[in-house]
């Protein structure tokens, strides 16, 4: 029987364990859990991860707000197959008045330099609102930089110019493959052409921060290399990829999920593309990626929900990232001050003790992962729905 030597994280030091080939040990609370050998995390990277863990703990204690999302509408002009919010053209929840959100940002000026706190509009589809320009002028007057996430369907050149004049400084456009794949996912026959037009506008704009975000799924997976070349031909310099997680409409649609083998291949594609340095490609902040950490995105995994990121939802609820399950809502701006919610709540997201359950309870990489992204938990008792690390294990 051949032997492999593995460095296993335990408390604040490493122990060396000799085990049968293809096996590694997770040691926590005097229990042993045997797992197949992952794509090994080398000793040097584990030391770096150990330092990173200490950084994460300090940042959680400080919890300096750096990104504030405003779910400015739940209305949307598309009906995407993977929508986590299950948005429609109309919504029972009315759009929040601009003045209500501005009271939050005005209060935050007492605690933060507004120039260092990014306001991001999301939805729904932000462009469904006709008063974004008014919002832009007023939030800029308060001193905040602002941007938005859009599907691009309603973005005309005149609207883009008006938004830029109102202070729009950054934008993310969703773009999910070539015409047939993109229109299938977005459930709209002209979505592809409109997304291309939106991308051309922002790529050509001087001193404008942008990225293109792609939801990788089995329909577009085989053409990623071609799609990369297409993006480069459009002049795109920043590209971000994410994969489907089971929420909203995606929860019941198995057509959207990559196999574990495809997921590993995706990591290799991103790693290779980054080495080429022809386009800045990164994997989103979805979860811990074992040996691929710091190779498929800049830096190590850090779920910043409730640590650096908060959101004001359409009904006034306060949460972290907008796509997190509503069971994690911390309060409501119509019932208490946002600052009180931010500074005194979010304890579950900062300490994350609730994530030490199910498959995470005795995991050998828990200190690096801390239960994966909060958005992958339906509640504090559900356990994690997706483990990216497990997807990398040989089957």
- 99 vs 41 pLDDT, higher one: 99
- 212's enclosing H/E stretch is strand 209-216
CA nearest neighbour of 39 among 343, 295, 376, 302: 295
**Cα(261)–Cα(101) distance, rounded to whole angstroms?**
44
Do the bridges between strand 280-283 and strand 168-174 make them parallel or antiparallel, or are there none, so unpaired? unpaired
In the three-class reduction of DSSP (H, G, I as helix; E, B as strand; rest coil), residue 129 is classed as: coil
Alpha-carbon separation of residue 90 from 75, 86, 174, 250 (angstroms):
5, 11, 21, 20
- Model confidence band, residue 245 (pLDDT cutoffs 50, 70, 90): confident
Average pLDDT over the chain, rounded to an integer: 88
The arithmetic mean of pLDDT across residues 318-332, rounded, is: 95
What's the pLDDT tens digit per position in 185-195?
999 999 999 99
The arithmetic mean of pLDDT across residues 121-133, rounded, is: 97
- 47's enclosing H/E stretch is helix 43-62
The predicted structure's pLDDT at residue 39: 53
- Model confidence band, residue 40 (pLDDT cutoffs 50, 70, 90): confident
CA nearest neighbour of 347 among 374, 307, 288, 304: 307
Do the bridges between strand 168-174 and strand 146-150 make them parallel or antiparallel, or are there none, so unpaired? parallel
How many CB atoms are located within 10 Å of the residue 116 CB? 12
**In sequence order, what are the residues at sequence separation of 6 or more whose Cβ sits closer than 8 angstroms to the Cβ of residue 31?**
362
């Amino acid at each position: 029987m051949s032997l492999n030597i593995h460095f296993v994280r335990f408390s604040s030091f490493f122990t060396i364990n000799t085990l049968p080939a293809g096996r590694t040990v997770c040691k926590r609370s005097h229990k042993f859990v045997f797992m197949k050998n992952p794509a090994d995390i080398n000793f040097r990277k584990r030391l770096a991860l150990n330092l990173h863990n200490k950084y994460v703990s300090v940042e959680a204690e400080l919890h300096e707000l750096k990104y504030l999302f405003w779910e400015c509408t739940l209305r949307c002009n598309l009906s995407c197959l993977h929508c986590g919010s299950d948005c429609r053209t109309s919504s029972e929840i009315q759009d929040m008045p601009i003045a209500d959100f501005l009271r939050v940002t005005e209060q935050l000026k007492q605690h933060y330099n507004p120039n260092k706190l990014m306001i991001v509009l999301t939805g729904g589809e932000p462009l469904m609102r006709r008063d974004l320009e008014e919002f832009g002028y007023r939030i800029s007057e308060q001193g905040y930089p602002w941007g938005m996430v859009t599907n691009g369907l309603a973005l005309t050149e005149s609207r883009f110019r008006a938004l830029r004049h109102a202070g729009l400084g950054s934008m993310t456009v969703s773009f999910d493959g070539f015409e047939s794949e993109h229109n299938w996912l977005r459930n709209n026959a002209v979505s592809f052409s409109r997304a291309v037009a939106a991308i051309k506008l922002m790529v050509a704009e001087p001193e404008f921060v942008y990225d293109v975000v792609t939801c990788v799924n089995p329909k577009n997976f085989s053409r990623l290399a071609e799609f990369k070349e297409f993006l480069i031909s459009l002049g795109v310099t920043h590209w971000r990829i994410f994969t489907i997680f089971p929420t909203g409409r995606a929860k019941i649609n198995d057509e959207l999920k990559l196999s574990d083998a495809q997921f590993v291949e995706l990591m290799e594609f991103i790693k290779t593309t980054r080495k080429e340095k022809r386009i800045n490609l990164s994997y989103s902040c979805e979860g811990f990626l074992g040996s691929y950490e710091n190779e498929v995105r800049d830096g190590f995994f850090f779920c910043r929900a409730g640590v650096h990121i908060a959101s004001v939802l359409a009904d006034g609820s306060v949460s972290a990232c907008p796509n997190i399950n509503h069971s994690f809502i911390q309060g409501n701006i119509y019932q208490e001050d946002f600052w009180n919610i931010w500074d005194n709540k979010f304890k579950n997201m900062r300490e994350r003790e609730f994530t030490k359950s199910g498959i995470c309870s005795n995991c050998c990489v828990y200190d690096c992962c801390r239960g994966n992204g909060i958005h992958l938990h339906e509640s504090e008792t559900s356990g994690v729905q997706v483990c990216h690390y497990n997807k990398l294990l040989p089957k």
